Amino acid sequence: MLQRELRKLILPLLLPGLLLHLVFFALPVLNAFYYSLTSWSGITLEKEFIGLDNFARAFGDRTLQTALANILFFGIFGFVLVFPLSLLFAVVLEENPPFARLLKFVIFAPTLLSVVVTAVLWGSIYNPVIGLLNETLRAIGLEEWTQPWLGRRGAALPAIGIAMVWQGLGTYVILFLAGLQKIPRSFYEAAQLDGADAWQQFWLVKLPLLWDVVQILVVLWVINAVQAFALIFVITRGYPNVTEVLGTYLYWAGFQGQSIGYASAMGVIMFALVLGLSLLVNRLMRREAIEY
């Protein structure tokens, strides 16, 4: 009887959230799909229907191709750095070493900073004239290594990638640590009795039981890489350059180029990328669930 009454409360409690989701997410997404089929400038009421012309233009757009290549770079670069580092720190923190509090502060402090603060901080570090990085290189006698870190694609992409990893690392460590703490200690004891050393315990016990966490984090990183915008936009002061990604190019096409229709088409492409890559990752990493 009580459960039946509680079920009656589900819809009234969910309704406000569903309405907000409909108004501020679902309807704008549907509008974006519609605008992507028009030549709307964003400043007039005229919305001429042009079909798939915006998408045809996008596939031949060299700047868009560069943006997609940069997204691929950030995805791979971040993956190579974030996952080994976050898993390493999580394993270390699980053992609760004497310096655990200091390590937690160093890892988690960047996560508490806003994206804008992080971007301003790293932008000042990479400043070619008075930036900390170039000043440090000059101080240790490596002046020939100094350069405009954000002015050349070969240096700018890794530089921004490091900033992205620095800010996001704490989140991944927390999730890995939560997954490790969920594994019963008896599994490690059984492995020790079977003669497994620490490295074998990691590969044969910890990593297989963390697979679901790894899968979720890979999807999160893919989404973050494709939707990257704020950090890059603030670091580069919003100007198009060699670090262009879909988010920044979409902004310039829509608000500076006065082409909301074309920007909406890029938004649809971004949506398709996120959806497709997420489904692909889930498909490739799918495995039988391990219950314990």
Domains of the chain with bracketed CATH: 50-284 (1.10.3720.10)
Identify the pLDDT of residue 55: 92
Identify the pLDDT of residue 127: 86
Identify the pLDDT of residue 269: 92
C-alpha dihedral (27, 30, 32, 33), degrees to nearest 10: 180
What distance in Å separates the CA atoms of residue 5 and residue 256, rounded to the nearest whole number?
A: 54
Tokens, residue 257: 């180029």
Burial of 156 (0-12, 13-18, 19+ CB in 10 A): buried
Residues 6+ apart with CB under 8 A from 51: 37
First to last CA, the chain: 34
Q: Which of 282, 209, 217 is nearest to 83 (CA)?
A: 217
Identify the pLDDT of residue 9: 75
Identify the pLDDT of residue 78: 83
DSSP string, 106-165: HHHHHHHS-HHHHHHHHHHHT-TTT-HHHHHHHHTT-GGG---TTTSHHHHHHHHHHHHH
70 and 157 in contact (C-beta within 8 Å)?
Answer: yes
- State the pTM of this model: 0.83
Q: What is the pLDDT along the chain (292 residues), one digit of tens a residue?
A: 556 766 777 778 888 888 998 888 888 888 889 999 998 887 888 888 888 899 999 888 888 888 899 899 988 888 888 889 999 999 888 888 888 888 888 888 888 888 889 988 998 898 888 888 889 988 888 888 888 888 887 888 899 989 999 988 999 999 999 888 888 888 877 878 877 777 887 888 888 888 888 888 888 888 888 888 888 888 886 555 678 888 888 888 888 777 889 999 999 999 999 999 888 988 887 776 666 5
200 and 188 in contact (C-beta within 8 Å)?
Answer: no
What distance in Å separates the CA atoms of residue 227 and residue 223, rounded to the nearest whole number?
A: 6
Q: What is each CA distance from 105 to 111, 112, 178, in whole angstroms?
A: 10, 10, 17
- Compute the half-sphere exposure of residue 201: CA atoms within 13 Å on the CB side of its CA: 18
What distance in Å separates the CA atoms of residue 192 and residue 91, rounded to the nearest whole number?
A: 17
Residues 6+ apart with CB under 8 A from 241: 150, 151, 156
Would you give the distance in Å from CA 116 to the centre of its chain?
A: 15
Tokens, residue 123: 């932008």
Bridge-partner residues for 38, per DSSP? 49
Q: Please tell me what DSSP assigns to residue 253.
A: I
